[in-house]
Structure 1
Amino acid sequence: MKLYGKKGSAWSKIALSAGLAFAVASSTLPAYAEETVSASLSPATGSAGISSIVAEIDGRPAQWGSSVYTYRSLTYVPVREGAVSLGAKVKWDKAQRAAIVTLNGDELLYRPDSTTVSVNGYELQMPGTTRYVDGILTVPLRGLTEPLRAKVSPVTSGGVLNLSLKTDTETNYDTGLSAVNDYLKKENYSGSVLIAKEGEVLLRKSYGLSSGSTLIRPTDQMRLGSLTKAFTAASILKLAEEGKLSIDDTLSQHIPGYPRGDEITLAMLLSHTSGIALNFKREEGIPLSETVEEIKQSPLKFAPGTDYMYSNSGFVLLAYIIEETSGMSYADFVQSKILDPLGMKHSGTATRQTKIPTGYEYDWQEGAWKSVDYYYFSPSGTGSLYSTLDDMLTWSQALSAGKVLSEETMERMYTVSPYKNYGFGWHVDGEGPNRVAFHSGGGDGYTTGIRRGLNDGTVIILLSNHGGLDTNAMTAEVRKLAFGE
């Protein structure tokens, strides 16, 4: 794209005026805007009957100068003034012929005559085209607020368009963690990340696209996948603490007639050492009891308690046992016994109606990420929950503080089997201050990961809307970059 006009004269015309409150009336539209858009914008009525525009940012008048106009029902603002007013930095990159906007470790590229803005390499669709007019690069307002994760509330009354903008309050970015930010951008990570220590959030940030025209936000809900297994394990252990079952109970005690069920204990199901492994049907509407019957038909892969094999089937059986023991559905038990008491208000059992970002899977033939246009179903106990960064931090802190299970029970939960570094619902590695519990999860269109320092108060959470990521490796790398461990 060509840059029309000289760089020096272009930017000199859009210098900020610190004391200038923003108010644009149709009679005072800048000459270049009136000349360029006269066919679409009547000086008498403005766009869509708007005669003037008034804007405020975080309750104070916007310092946007007079280079703002409406065109084809869109409000346009100059990139430099608009971005700076929202807390960003702006420079012109001659080599890329683009305005580069930076904020919270993100890099945005605005090019003349483009319908997209590049956000850390992801192309975000804007509601209109950037317009290079009389030496000033202008952009539709939402083409600026969305990539900068600002909120805008437009209200039109009496021909006046009132714009109330709020700068990004959801992102927490510490430049001391720039190495983590650089790593996630290099990995083309799409999703949210949270890093905390002793309850203090050091990084809370999102990357990538939620849809073609919206970005992921740090507050977005995400399917948890197999991070659900930790909640299943905690539910079984809570029932054990209440004396309603024992982890040494046999499977036959809870599911009579299960083949070789007298050789399999609940502890074996929790640690994936039961020998039960099966890829069962994942279809909506199938009762949990029917899936249990399907699992019963599968022969054991090895003698119970003699080896390790990751088993979603085992956790389906545990969910069924939770239901039979408590008299509640798995979803209701987890909600009423864990999520609600901990105040995890943005977590629950995922359904087709659960609002989450669009999921993407990589198409190796086309070499591109493609949106998943179907619902991936997970039975109770294996990958059925959803949550947010903040709620997952609450969950981690509650476990560490003994608000979910006793210290003795948690130590049993983190004790690994002789065959794999897996306890009950958690992988566990290291010793002393470097002892960590971690897990990954995923399904079609999403991948998640968590890594918790069991003795140093650290936690790393990744909630991604890209399928197929190795989040165990990623949380390990993030921990190393953040804490040097």
Structure 2
Amino acid sequence: MLPVRAVAAIILVAEGDAVLVERDQTTEGSWVKGVGIADPGTGAQMAPGMHTRIGSVTKTFTGTVILQLAEDGLLSLDDTIGAYVTGIPNGDEITLRQLANMTSGVASYTASERFVDLYLEDPNMFFSPEDLVAYAVENSPLFEPGSEFDCSNTNTILLGMVIEKVTGQPVETALRTMIFEPLGLENTIWPGRQTAIPAPYARGISLQGYDATPEAPLDATNWNPASLWTAGEIISDVDDLLTYGRALATGHGLLEAKLQEQRLRSFQGPADYGLALRCTDGWVGHTGELPGYTTVVYYNTQTDTTVAIQTNSDIPSGDCGEAEVLPSNPHGIACSLPAMRIFNAVAPLLGGTAAP
């Protein structure tokens, strides 16, 4: 178990495509800062360049590869998932577009009590994509395709299976050759079955787990990431997230202008969720949360500003009702996860408010 003081964060703010010249101060249009303790065992401080798991920001990588394959004519966003994966309820109606914008009606496997029990009993257990989909099918469909919104990890798992079927390659190969390498993301990693995070890294603390208490949260650093696969498995650092966040929102180096414009016009409903992307008050990007870590990557389309935030805790704070929080929990603020709380404090200073 880890002491509460392990909570820490890395924050990076940049205008345009400025290159970081110095750390911990404003320079060349950028500012980056690490605060808190990354590893209570060694006392190492949180610092830029440390790796963390980025959770659901991975969804944007998966969605981008799907759009690239559509751009190359290898698939259509209006193809049904049934053409690629069998056994999905309403699979002959659900389109890849609906999987990407979270309107498919396929339940998230994380809502399955069977999955949650197995995962929390043994966080190092390996789950295949097929295993994850099977847990989701038990509770599907939630609604008719296209009629409602539900942020389901299963949607992005299915898109990962489509990528492998269309390319004939492991999904990590597609991610590396289509995104990591073209953008020069040298510190962005697909861990596969490897549970360890490359050094330097921040240890992640969590209250998810049967033995966790607010006084003694669990060390989730090396929990098996295969339970998230294409919905949340990627590891990265703050500089790579800066590069990727701007490319994701502008399309530069990733998508042709026409398809990027379509992506940026896809936001709909109260969730403002589009093709594996969210837009909130002019901020385009995504958030990520998994045991031990939270992440924010957002780009402001009006000010050409990118914000990337990594934390080594997934524990919410504020007025969180019955949710478990740390003993030092502040009151009188809205309940939020660590990276999102920081972003909501920073965003008004940079051209808008947001509540991702």
Same fold (TM over 0.5): yes
Cα drift, residue 335 of structure 1: 1.1
The aligned counterpart of 1:386 is 235
Cα drift, residue 376 of structure 1: 4.3
Contact 1:307 1:419 survives alignment (8 Å): no
C-alpha separation in 2, matches of 1:340 and 1:318: 21
The aligned counterpart of 1:194 is 12
SS in 2 for 1:442: strand
Distance 1:451 1:289, change over 3 A: same
1:232 and 2:62 matched: yes
Q: Which runs of 5+ in 2 are unaligned?
A: 19-28, 317-336
Distance 1:305 1:461, change over 3 A: same
The aligned counterpart of 2:33 is 205
Cα drift, residue 369 of structure 1: 5.2
C-alpha separation in 1, matches of 2:12 and 2:274: 24
How does the TM-score come out when normalised to structure 2?
A: 0.76
Pairwise CA RMSD: 2.4
* 1:452-481 C-alpha deviation (Å, 9 max, x unpaired): 112321111111111134233431321213
Contact 1:244 1:325 survives alignment (8 Å): yes
* 1:71-123 C-alpha deviation (Å, 9 max, x unpaired): xxxxxxxxxxxxxxxxxxxxxxxxxxxxxxxxxxxxxxxxxxxxxxxxxx959
How does the TM-score come out when normalised to structure 1?
A: 0.57
Distance 1:269 1:191, change over 3 A: same
* Residue correspondences, number: 296
- AA aligned to 1:343 is G
User: What pairs up with 1:176-191 in 2 under 5 angstroms?
Assistant: 190-191=8-9
Cα drift, residue 258 of structure 1: 2.8
Contact 2:272 2:280 survives alignment (8 Å): yes
Cα drift, residue 341 of structure 1: 1.5
Cα drift, residue 365 of structure 1: 5.0
C-alpha separation in 2, matches of 1:322 and 1:217: 35
After TM superposition, the runs of 4+ consecutive aligned structure 1 residues lying more than 6 A away are none
User: What pairs up with 1:243-254 in 2 under 5 angstroms?
Assistant: 243-254=73-84
1:425 and 2:276 matched: yes
Between structures 1 and 2, the one with greater strand share? 1
- AA aligned to 1:361 is S
1:372 and 2:220 matched: yes
Contact 2:102 2:150 survives alignment (8 Å): yes
SS in 1 for 2:77: coil
- AA aligned to 1:203 is W
Distance 1:301 1:202, change over 3 A: same
Larger Rg: 1
C-alpha separation in 2, matches of 1:230 and 1:354: 21
The aligned counterpart of 2:170 is 329
1:361 and 2:209 matched: no
1:214 and 2:62 matched: no
C-alpha separation in 2, matches of 1:478 and 1:302: 37
C-alpha separation in 2, matches of 1:365 and 1:468: 11
Distance 1:343 1:301, change over 3 A: same
The aligned counterpart of 1:312 is 153
Match of 1:453 among 300, 323, 346: 300
* 1:203-231 C-alpha deviation (Å, 9 max, x unpaired): 11101112122111111011110000100
% identity of equivalent residues:
26
User: What pairs up with 1:65-464 in 2 under 5 angstroms?
Assistant: 190-200=8-18, 201-212=29-40, 213-280=43-110, 281=115, 284-350=125-191, 351-355=194-198, 356-361=201-206, 366-367=214-215, 370-372=218-220, 375-377=223-225, 378-399=227-248, 400=250, 402-414=252-264, 415-418=266-269, 420-430=271-281, 435-464=282-311
* 1:296-348 C-alpha deviation (Å, 9 max, x unpaired): 34321111110011100111111111111111111111011110111100001
Contact 2:52 2:236 survives alignment (8 Å): yes
SS in 2 for 1:264: coil
Q: Which runs of 5+ in 1 are unaligned?
A: 1-120, 124-188
Contact 2:8 2:312 survives alignment (8 Å): yes
C-alpha separation in 2, matches of 1:481 and 1:278: 35
Query: Which structure is higher in RCO with an 8 Å CA cutoff and minimum separation 6?
Result: 2
C-alpha separation in 2, matches of 1:332 and 1:401: 21
